Amino acid sequence: MTKTPDAEADAAREEWDDRYRSEDQLWSGKANGSLEAEASDLTVGTALDAGCGEGADAIWLAEQGWTVTAVDISGVAIDRGRAEATRRGLAITLIAGEFPTAVEGSTFDLVSLHYPAFPIGDLDAVSRGLRQAVAPGGVLLVVGHAPPQDLEAATFDPADYVQPWDIEPLLGQGWTVEVSETRARPGDHHHGSHHVEDVILRARRAQPSAS
């Protein structure tokens, strides 16, 4: 029997909740180095962290002065992010829900997606949601793990999930690609991760033409 979209979402939510419950802290608690590198020269405004996990990136953005909305399918992860934001005295809107549905109709000056866990079958919906979430003049930042040289030794195949190189050709007119490259992953690797290179897509949405 084929699962309905709602059943698939429920299964994914339960899977991620169980994964987070398996450890007191699943990730390092540190912001991703590629976010810090790419966002440091942007004008502060509103930001969306899509797939925020336990909220380290969202917290870093808020500490830089951004007004942050963060979304993750796992309520367990969102609760942890909310607790840490409260501990630091930061006002962050953290939403337990699916992207892009959870923020449909809202736009942001920066939309950040790091190490996507969206199945490649969701590419069209995810890509469309990312594009629609970026305000005119805003920036889309998507960072993924560079494909390992030895796929047999990898814990997953990047081709199974939405990646920056999948999204870039779908941007279409009205976008300027500012960065599209693979480079060394900066900062400490999360829990000793063997991923040492990031694939980075940074693109800016055009402002509407003056009438």
Q: Consecutive sets of 10 residues in the chain, 211 residues long: mean pLDDT of each?
A: 64 81 70 94 97 95 98 95 96 96 97 94 96 98 84 71 96 96 76 73 89 55
pLDDT at residue 126 in the model: 97
CATH architecture entry for 5-205:
3-Layer(aba) Sandwich (3.40)
Check: pTM over 0.95? Answer yes or no: no
Q: Is the dihedral of CA 96, 100, 106, 111 positive or negative?
A: positive
C-alpha distances (whole Å) from 182 to each of 11, 38, 66 are: 33, 13, 26
Residue 54, Ramachandran bin (φ over 0: left; ψ between -120 and 50: alpha; else beta): alpha
pLDDT at residue 26 in the model: 57
Cβ(106)–Cβ(69) below 8 Å: yes
Cβ(98)–Cβ(35) below 8 Å: no
pLDDT at residue 114 in the model: 95
Q: What are the domain boundaries of the chain?
A: 5-205
Structure tokens given for 69: 């909305």
2-45 pLDDT, tens per residue? 455 677 778 887 887 788 787 667 556 689 999 999 999 999 99
